[in-house]
Amino acid sequence: MIDQMIQKSPKKHRARWRIRLYEGRWTLIAAALTLAFFVAAGSISMAAALAGFILIAVATLVISRNEARYRPSADDAALFSRLREQSTNRFADVLSDPCFILDQKAVIVHRNSAAHLQYPGATIGNPIAFSLRNPELLAAIEQVRSTGVAQEAEVHQTVPNETWFAVSLTPLAQNGEDNASPDRIVVVMRNLTEQKRVEAMRADFIANASHELRTPLTSLIGFIDTLQGSAAKDPEARERFLGIMRAQSERMSNLIDDLLSLSRIELRQHLKPTEDTDLKQILHEVVDALQIQATDADLKVTVDVPKAPAIVSGDRDELYEAFQNLIDNAIKYGSDGDSVEVTLAPVTSRGEFDYLVNITDHGAGIAQEHVPRLSERFYRVDAESSRKKKGTGLGLAIVKHILNRHGGQMTIRSQVGVGTNVEVLLPK
């Protein structure tokens, strides 16, 4: 029956039907064997088996014809390519890192909003080399173009600001085939600037801490050698050297205490304090504890606070340490004056802050170029003078970290020959 249908059809249709029957040959063979088994077993008659086989053959022809009918055309392939490219662009748009999509000639065909903000000069339609001239990046792009293998690169720029980016370059074949000749290159740039700065800060910190500890240790070793040698039988020299050694030991002890304190505060900096504490009481206790230093420096420390308690949410020990550092600095470096004033007052016009603490001395003051760097670790205006006053260079760094944890703010104003004012704002 099928042969009769094929003979009545034009040649091209007969050829197509033969192809379809050939494509479905395994289905027809399986059906024939199954039906033969059932006929042999007596389950069905020969006529029923023949009718079933004819139906299966017709179904095979129809299914093959439908598959041929929906075979993708050139237009369908182009549409698929456009949809795939749109999907890639949308994926790039949701990335928080800068992302460029380049064509085979390294021309920018898409950029996300982060890339536009970071590199406004990198416009669509221009080669990426016009705006990003980093040799390592361009070499990595060329490598991807020629080999189709993903690459990594690091971009370091110094203009307008120093920045570092880790760049991932991934080949993408829009036709879904091998990436040996990629249609697109996806360039994703992860910002490493903050990480690099932290690493540099850590390296500087270790170097500075080592230097600060090495100096008194060298002095101690030198004096010990002297006492074991030429000064072993000189009571006067021994007493003088022991006094210097004690001072150097105290300096090392203070430095280690400040390093441990700073480390402890940094570990808890992300945890906001929840307990209530009274600023008024803390300031009174700090001033009382520093009265001996104030008397030795021939200074009068006055405290002006409101009658009502000034309750804030904060760690009492940390706030005590912060104000102890600030008032101690005012006494040490304000000794050229005759007084240090400490005031506490509620505020209503300073944004989210509720209390203002002012600590003012009338000492020699600090030149303006030094003021912005005073809270940096180990930064000193006069290193020798600071060491003589047993300063470690970490006090204001500790204060800054404590205030950051408490949501506070510190502002330092100073004028040479007039004095220094430190303003601390804290929320409730």
pLDDT at 341: 92
Is 80 among the domain residues? no
Report pLDDT for 200: 72
161 with 213, same domain?
Answer: no
pLDDT confidence band for 282 (50 / 70 / 90):
very high
Instruction: Output the CA–CA distances (angstroms, integers) from residue 51 to 32, 37, 359, in the order listed.
Output: 11, 15, 105
What is the average pLDDT across 371-395? 70
Any idea which of 20-24, 41-45, 211-215, 274-278 has the lowest mean pLDDT?
20-24
Asked if 53 and 74 touch (Cβ cutoff 8 Å), the reply is no
Count the neighbouring beta carbons within 10 Å of the beta carbon of residue 334.
25
Q: What is the DSSP letter of 309?
A: -
Report the C-alpha gap between 239 and 4 in whole angstroms: 127
Residue 45 pLDDT: 77
Residue 256 has pLDDT above 60, yes or no: yes
Q: Are both 183 and 302 inside the same structural domain?
A: no
31 plus 134 within the same structural domain: no
Report if residue 86 sits inside a domain. no
Distance separating alpha carbons of residues 331 and 390, to the nearest angstrom: 13
Q: Which residue has the higher pLDDT, 257 or 22?
A: 257
- CB within 8 Å of 343: residues ≥ 6 apart: 303, 304, 305, 356, 357, 358, 360
Q: Is residue 27 part of a domain?
A: yes
Q: How far apart are the C-alpha atoms of 283 and 301, rounded to whole Å?
A: 11
Residue 301: what residue type?
V
Residue type, 425: L
**Pair of tokens at residue 421:** 């004012």
Residue 279, CA atoms < 13 Å, CB-side half-sphere? 29
pLDDT confidence of residue 393: 74
Q: Which residues contact 163 (CB under 8 A, 6 or more apart)?
A: 155, 156, 157, 191, 193
Would you say residue 384 lies in a domain?
yes
Give Dmax (Cα) for the chain.
Answer: 132
Residue 284 and residue 425 in one domain: yes
From CA 160, how far away is CA 174, in angstroms rounded? 36
- The pLDDT of residue 27 is 73
Residue 292 lies in a domain: yes
Average pLDDT in the 341-358 region? 89
Are 98 and 148 contained in the same domain? yes
Residue 419's H or E segment, with its range, is strand 419-426
Asked whether residue 385 carries a pLDDT value surpassing 60, the answer given is no
Question: β-pairing, 300-304 with 339-346?
Answer: parallel
CATH code, domain with 168:
3.30.450.20
pLDDT band at 68 (very low <50, low <70, confident <90, very high): very low
Look at residue 390 in the predicted model and tell me its pLDDT: 58
170 versus 85: which is more confidently predicted? 170
Q: Are strands 276-278 and 311-313 parallel, antiparallel or unpaired?
A: antiparallel
The answer to whether residues 100 and 115 touch, using CB atoms and an 8 Å cutoff, is yes
CATH code, domain carrying 250: 1.10.287.130
Whole-model pTM?
0.52
Domain boundary at 267, 288, 314, which? Answer: 267
The verdict on residue 82 lying in a domain is: no
What total of structural domains would you count in the chain? 4
Is there a single domain that holds both residue 353 and residue 232?
no
Query: How far from 298 is each of 292, 358, 384, CA to CA, in Å?
Result: 10, 21, 22
Q: What is the pLDDT of residue 9?
A: 45
**Whole-angstrom Cα distance, residue 170 to residue 184?**
8
| Gap between the Cα atoms of 119 and 131, Å rounded | 8
Residue 42 domain-assigned? yes
Residues 383, 290 within the same domain = yes
Q: Which residues contact 422 (CB under 8 A, 6 or more apart)?
A: 326, 330, 358, 359, 360, 410, 411, 412
- Say how many Å lie between the first and final Cα of the chain, rounded: 95
> Minimum mean pLDDT among 31-40, 66-75, 402-411: which range?
66-75
Is 347 in the same domain as 374?
A: yes
- Determine which helix (DSSP H) or strand (DSSP E) holds 257, and give its type and residue range: helix 235-267
Token pair of 331, please? Answer: 């006494």
Cα–Cα separations (whole angstroms), residue 12 to 16, 59, 68:
6, 20, 15
Stated as kind and residue range, the H or E segment containing 190 is strand 184-191
pLDDT above 70 coverage of the chain, percent: 81
CATH of the domain at 281: 3.30.565.10
Q: How far apart are CA 261 and CA 317, in angstroms?
A: 11
Domain final position from 133, 156, 191 = 191
290 and 401 housed in the same domain: yes
Taking the C-alpha atoms of residue 16 and residue 64, their distance in angstroms, rounded to an integer, is: 10
Report residue 1's pLDDT band, with 50, 70 and 90 as the boundaries.
very low
The answer to whether residues 97 and 126 belong to one domain is: yes
Same domain? For 302 and 393 the reply is yes
- Find out whether 380 and 327 touch, Cβ atoms under 8 Å: no
What's the pLDDT at 360?
92
> Do 288 and 424 meet the contact criterion of CB atoms below 8 Å apart?
no
Please report the pLDDT score of residue 4 as a whole number. 46
406 and 336 within one domain = yes
What one-letter code names the amino acid at 202? Answer: R
% of the chain with per-residue pLDDT over 90: 11
Residue-level pLDDT at 387? 56
Is residue 77 one of the residues assigned to a domain? Answer: no
- Residue 172 lies in domain: 93-191
Q: Which two tokens stand for residue 323?
A: 């104000």
Of 267, 295, 313, which closes a domain? 267
